[in-house]
Amino acid sequence: MDRGVTRWHRLVLLPVLAGALALAACRDSGEGDYLAVAGKLFVFNYRIAQATYHLTLTKVRKVPDDAVLETTFENPAGGEPFIVRQNVWPAAEKISVDSPPVKCVKADRQYKVTIRLEDAGGKLLQTISRTMISDTDESVLPNRPLVVGPFYDPNPDKDKPDSNAVACPA
């Protein structure tokens, strides 16, 4: 009786294993996208009076070694876009990309973001274009950081007008 169960298990197990191997082989066919956007948002850090773009990417398939990610963020204040270049680490499954601090973020307005994945030689592997929309206006941020220094001391100048204020487009 044990022999019958063993043969039955083999008859079922072999096709299941063959199917699993076929699926594993199809997972990285060498074609298609390398990365996918998993999340995108604006981060408003009221403590330091700063807003930034934040993107999270996931790997869809193996990214070549020494690949570089170049992300271009529209400048909400107008002017030249912000460009962030960073290496893609082979062991990391997720990639986080943050912009430098931005000014003039308006609620319900679309901002363009372009992500370029390049190999070590600069050959373009993938381009992703997205728009980002904030549900919050930059007006929620204070003029100056609320705290200063490594011990988060209250900022004595927090109520003074911001001398670095930017004239935001309408």
The C-alpha R_g of the chain, in whole angstroms, comes to 24
pLDDT at 15: 56
pLDDT above 90 coverage of the chain, percent:
69
CATH 3.30.300.30 applies to domain 35-146:
no
pLDDT digits (tens, 9 = 90+) for 85-111: 999 998 999 999 999 999 999 999 999
Q: Where are the domains of the chain?
A: 35-146
- The number of CA neighbours under 13 Å toward the Cβ of 83 is 6
Q: How far apart are CA 17 and CA 158, in angstroms?
A: 65
